Structures are given as structure tokens and as C-alpha cells.
């Protein structure tokens, strides 16, 4: 039988480790949801659980049964309601796991996903299209895939499968085009699809100037390793979004450098 550390509390070393692990889990979940709409529900769940522990300690059987049933049903409801947030959390856990680029490449080949690549010629075409759309204040949302498959996003739009061309990009995002509303997906040096629907971020700390395009760009880069170019329809400003972080582009050389970094990252996989 393990020796107790605090006799008057009856705590063993195992109990202390158990408490520490639970505290770390609660802290990690709090950090995850603190800037989202889920924070209020998270606090409510903690309060209900504390009441459950108190009721159990005091021998309040009816209250214990009522709160226990509420928690059992509530867990299932939370999984359904916060399915996107849970998927995002699991993606972050997986992305922070130390897996080498060679290991990721091997897994991609095993599961039939080749990753992405884009030539310098395509980079120039995309950059020139963005420059012209910026001058004309034509809104655009261009997604570049990396290691993660975006098949579930591509399925929401219309398949294109065409060579990357500035004229095609500008025509697709022209305001009277039937495909202008939504995101364009570029993968393996091809325009794969257009009018795709992206997940919207649940962050509440974003600047008021960010519209739905920016929120969609942040959302998809939070869930996957994709990178996104956003052209604002209101201001013509160009932004580059990666891992939920927005970089405002000052000139086309900066945009080409960022796209060039994407090429280097793809070639290493």
C-alpha cells in the first residue's frame, strides 16, 4: 500500500500525480478554448463537475444521479456541437508531434497523397494575377495545399483541373463569374477546383477589418497545413495566411518570396 504524503489528507504519491495530470489537461483545454466561444461552456462544465464531486462527497444521492445523467448526455452533445473545434484540436496535437519531413513524406506515399509542388512560372502567374486583382479591388481566396489532403474541401466546389494561369485566375474571381464566390485550390501545380467552401475560424480576437475571406483563410490554415492568399475586395490589400497567422503583403517581391518558401518546403517532403 503506497505511503501517504499528507496523513491528514490521505494523499498518496499516485494521487498527487493524478491531480497534476488532470490539472495539466484542464490548463491545456483552457488555453485551447480561451479565445473561442467555447470558453463559457468549458467553465460551465467545470462548475457542474465540481458540484458533482461535492454531491458525491456529501452523500447527496439524488443530486449525484441528476448531475451524473446531465454530464453523460452533455458530453455527447458537446462532441456534436464542437466537432470542428475538436478536429482542430486533434490536428494541432498531431502537427506538434515531432515527425520528420521524411516520415511525413513516407506516410503521404503510403496513403496515396503526393503533397504539392508549384513551379516558379506558376508563382509568377499567381503573383501577377494578385497584383492586377489588387489594383482592380477584385476579391480573391487562393489556397495552396501542402502535405494534408484537402479532398473534403475540394468536394464542396467545382472541379477545374487546369494549368495555373493569371488570366484564368482573374476570370474565375471576376465578380460576375459564377465561380467567383469561394476559394480556389491549387495543388501539384494545377488549379484543382474553384468555389470551394472553407471552414471559418472561431477566434474572437481578430481585427474588425477582417472580412469573411480572412476568417476563412485563417480557419483552413488552423485545421490544415495549407497556405492561403487573400485579396481584399474592399481595400485591394493582399494578405498571406499560414498556420492562422496573417502577413500583409507590401509588394509582389514579398509575395513571391513567401510562395518560394512554399516551393522549398514542398520539395523537402
How does pLDDT run along the chain (269 residues), one tens digit per residue? 444 444 445 667 887 888 889 888 878 777 766 666 666 777 777 788 888 888 888 888 888 888 888 777 777 777 776 666 666 666 666 655 544 444 554 545 554 545 455 788 888 899 999 999 999 999 999 999 988 888 889 999 999 999 999 999 999 999 888 888 899 999 988 999 999 999 888 788 888 889 899 999 999 998 888 999 999 999 999 999 998 899 999 888 888 888 777 555 444 44
The bridge status of strand 245-248 relative to strand 238-242 is antiparallel
Contact 208, 181 (CB under 8 A): no
Mark whether 50 and 124 lie in a shared domain: no
Question: Residue 250: its pLDDT value, please?
Answer: 86
Q: What are phi and psi of 59, to 5 degrees?
A: 75, 25
Last residue within a domain, chosen from 78, 95, 112: 95
* Sequential DSSP letters for 176-212: TSTT-SSEEEEETTEEEEEEE--PPP--S-S-TT--H
Question: Residue 230: its pLDDT value, please?
Answer: 95
Mark whether 168 and 48 lie in a shared domain: no
Q: Is residue 25 part of a domain?
A: yes
**Range(s) of the domain holding residue 150:** 120-268
Report how far residue 194's alpha carbon sits from residue 146's, in angstroms, rounded to the nearest whole number.
17
Mark whether 131 and 87 lie in a shared domain: no
Report how far residue 140's alpha carbon sits from residue 169's, in angstroms, rounded to the nearest whole number.
9
Report how far residue 107's alpha carbon sits from residue 157's, in angstroms, rounded to the nearest whole number.
27
Mark whether 167 and 225 lie in a shared domain: yes
Mark whether 230 and 179 lie in a shared domain: yes
Mark whether 65 and 144 lie in a shared domain: no
Question: Residue 2: its pLDDT value, please?
Answer: 46
Q: By CB neighbour count within 10 A (0-12 exposed, 13-18 middle, 19+ buried), where does 1 fall?
A: exposed
Mark whether 25 and 142 lie in a shared domain: no
Integer-rounded Cα Rg, in Å, for the chain is: 24
Mark whether 57 and 144 lie in a shared domain: no
Question: Residue 79: its pLDDT value, please?
Answer: 72
Closest CA to 122 of 242, 227, 263, 266: 263
Number of domains composing the chain: 2
Q: Is residue 104 part of a domain?
A: no
Q: Which 8-state DSSP code applies to residue 259? A: H
For residue 44, what is the enclosing H or E element? helix 39-57
Q: Is residue 214 part of a domain?
A: yes
The bridge status of strand 11-12 relative to strand 158-163 is unpaired
Question: Residue 1: its pLDDT value, please?
Answer: 44
Q: Is residue 173 part of a domain?
A: yes
Question: Residue 11: its pLDDT value, please?
Answer: 67
Report how far residue 125's alpha carbon sits from residue 103's, in angstroms, rounded to the nearest whole number.
32
Question: Residue 180: its pLDDT value, please?
Answer: 87
Q: State in Å, rounded, how far the first CA of the chain is from the last one.
A: 52
Helix (H, G, I), strand (E, B) or coil at 31: helix
Label residues 122-154 b or e (16+ Cβ within 10 Å = b): bbebbbbbbbebbeeebbbbbbbbbbbbbeebb
Q: What would you measure as the largest C-alpha separation in the chain, in angstroms?
A: 77
Give all strands of the β-sheet with 183-187 in edge-to-edge order: 158-163, 190-196, 183-187, 140-144, 227-231, 238-242, 245-248
Mark whether 229 and 142 lie in a shared domain: yes
Question: Residue 266: its pLDDT value, please?
Answer: 46
How far are the Cα atoms of 97, 108, 132, 142, 158 from residue 128, in angstroms, in the given order?
37, 31, 6, 13, 24
Amino acid at each position: 500500500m503506497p505511503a501517504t504524503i499528507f496523513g491528514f489528507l490521505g494523499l498518496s504519491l499516485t494521487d498527487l500525480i493524478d491531480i497534476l495530470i488532470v490539472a495539466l489537461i484542464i490548463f491545456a483545454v483552457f488555453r485551447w478554448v480561451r479565445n473561442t466561444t467555447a470558453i463559457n461552456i468549458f467553465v460551465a462544465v467545470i462548475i457542474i463537475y465540481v458540484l458533482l464531486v461535492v454531491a458525491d462527497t456529501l452523500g447527496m444521492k439524488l443530486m449525484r444521479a441528476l448531475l451524473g445523467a446531465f454530464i453523460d448526455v452533455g458530453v455527447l452533445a458537446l462532441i456534436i456541437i464542437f466537432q470542428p473545434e475538436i478536429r482542430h484540436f486533434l490536428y494541432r496535437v498531431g502537427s506538434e508531434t515531432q515527425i520528420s519531413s521524411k516520415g511525413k513524406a513516407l506516410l503521404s506515399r503510403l496513403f496515396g497523397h503526393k503533397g504539392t509542388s508549384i513551379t516558379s512560372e506558376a508563382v509568377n502567374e499567381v503573383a501577377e494575377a494578385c497584383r492586377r486583382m489588387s489594383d482592380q479591388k477584385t476579391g480573391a481566396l487562393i489556397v495552396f495545399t501542402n502535405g494534408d489532403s484537402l479532398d473534403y474541401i475540394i468536394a464542396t466546389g467545382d472541379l477545374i483541373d487546369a494549368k495555373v494561369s493569371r488570366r484564368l485566375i482573374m476570370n474565375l474571381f471576376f465578380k460576375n463569374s459564377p465561380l467567383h464566390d469561394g476559394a480556389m485550390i491549387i495543388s501539384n501545380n494545377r488549379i484543382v477546383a474553384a468555389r470551394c467552401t472553407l471552414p471559418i475560424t472561431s477566434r474572437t480576437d481578430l481585427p474588425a477589418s477582417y472580412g469573411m475571406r480572412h476568417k476563412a483563410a485563417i480557419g483552413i490554415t488552423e485545421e490544415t497545413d495549407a497556405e492561403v492568399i487573400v485579396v481584399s475586395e474592399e481595400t485591394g490589400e493582399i494578405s498571406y495566411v499560414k498556420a492562422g497567422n496573417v502577413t500583409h503583403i507590401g509588394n509582389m517581391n514579398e509575395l513571391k518570396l513567401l510562395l518560394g518558401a512554399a516551393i522549398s518546403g514542398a520539395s523537402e517532403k
